[in-house]
Amino acid sequence: MRRSMLFIPGNNPSMIQNAPILGADSIILDLEDAVSIDEKDSARFLVRNALLELDFNGCEKVVRINSINTELGYEDIDVIAKVKPDALLVPKATEDAIKEIDELISTIEGEEGFKLGSIKLIPLIETAFGVEDVFNIVKSSKRVAAVLLGAEDLTADMEIKRTKEGEEIFYARSRIVSACKALKVDAIDTPFTDINDFEGLKRDCQRAKLIGMTGKAAVNPRQIDTINEVFSPSMEDIEWAKRVIAAYDEAQREGKGVFSLDGKMVDAPVLARAKNVLEKAKAIGLIKE
């Protein structure tokens, strides 16, 4: 479950050790943009030690590495993969980069005695080329568990203005969602960068959810509750899903293939949606069974 993925600067001990109690489903320890070039070595050792020694309270542990277009990315992989994070977030991901990182991690997993494939990859799609190639990027490694849209870099690459309304990223969001759904991985939406506009954040989450995004990155702990709320099934959704399943069970007993609920036909896609809602609710702990 990746409703909220919180970015934490990789060279800040205070923020790293407080991160696990903030309510995010995933913590992204950032070795890339949040760390100045002179402190890359320092952040890498700090994040490695944090992964080894801190209790992350059940949060998914993700590390954003530097690009493998520079030596920094290789050094990150060499140090971080050895302490088995749950996933690496790969900036400006391409098919070639994902394939190469997959191979590097496989070697480390073999050397360290980790289960092959246990370290996942999350490509960060933040270029026009990445958007157009996202299906192939996801398909290029079985390690890919989710895709994160990075709209700030993407709009810079597209030479267009980034707005709060986000109309300019509708195509990128849709294309990513479609590829992710087709290949059964999570689609994580770009962060909302105005950390004081909670109404704007909520609308942005709703827009993303409406077209199929399954979670959203956060750049401030105060954004987590809103993101979690929007990307969790509502109590109304859960009640509806329970009624669909109950009606289905009854129809089965009566030997009916298709049945109706509240005057609307319930068929396989509706049933699948209801099951999906209940599975999510269960994973979050909103329902017990």
Nearer to another protein, 14 or 196 (CB): 14
Element holding 121 (H helix, E strand): strand 120-125
79 interacts with another protein by CB under 8 A: no
The type of residue at 25 is D
Instruction: Give me the least distance between CB of 205 and another protein, in Å please.
Output: 31
Binding mask 210-239 for another protein (x = CB under 8 A): ------------------------------
CB of 41 or CB of 111, closer to another protein: 41
- Whichever of 45 and 171 has its CB closer to another protein, that residue is 45
> Which is closer to another protein, CB of 18 or CB of 118?
18
**Residue whose token pair is 């099934």:** 233
- Hey, which bits of the chain come out as E strands? 4-9, 26-30, 60-64, 87-90, 120-125, 146-149, 186-189, 215-218, 259-261, 264-266
- Would the CA dihedral through 154, 160, 165, 166 be positive or negative? negative
CA distance 179 to 147: 9
Segment lying near another protein (by CB under 8 A), choices 13-21, 110-118, 154-162, 240-248: 13-21
CA distance 141 to 139: 6
Of 6-14, 19-27, 122-130, 216-224, the segment contacting another protein by CB under 8 A is 6-14
Nearest approach, Cβ of residue 160 and another protein (Å): 37
Q: Is 13 in the site for another protein (CB under 8 A)?
A: yes
Interior/surface letters 103-129, b for 16+ CB within 10 angstroms, e for the rest: ebbbebbeeeebeeeebbbbbbbbbee
Minimum distance between the CB of residue 101 and another protein, rounded to whole angstroms?
24
The minimum distance between CB 195 and another protein, in angstroms, equals 20
Phi, psi of 61 (to 5 degrees): -105, 110
Q: How far apart are CA 102 and CA 123, in angstroms?
A: 12
Beta strand spans in 41-111 (E): 60-64, 87-90
Among the listed residues 9, 17, 82, 261, the single contact to another protein using CB under 8 A: 17
Q: Is 125 in the site for another protein (CB under 8 A)?
A: no
Q: Which two tokens stand for residue 174?
A: 């849709």
Q: Which is nearer to another protein, 52 or 116 (CB)?
A: 52
Kindly state the smallest distance separating residue 158's Cβ from another protein, in Å. Answer: 37
Of 50 and 124, CB closest to another protein:
50
Chain positions 34 to 53 lying near another protein, rule: CB under 8 A, are 41-42, 45-46, 48-50, 52-53
Q: Residue 51 Cβ, how far from another protein at the closest point, in Å?
A: 9
Q: CA-CA distance, 92 to 190, in Å (whole number)?
A: 13
First to last CA, the chain: 17
Q: Site size for another protein, by CB under 8 A? A: 14
Nearest distance in Å: CB 66, another protein:
16
Piece in contact with another protein (CB under 8 A), picked from 11-19, 127-135, 156-164, 250-258:
11-19
- Tokens 């890498």 correspond to 44
Residues of the chain by 3-state class (helix, strand, coil), percent to 5: 50, 15, 30
The residues that bridge with 26 in the sheet, in sequence order, are: 5, 60
- Residues in contact with another protein by CB under 8 A are 12-14, 17, 41-42, 45-46, 48-50, 52-54
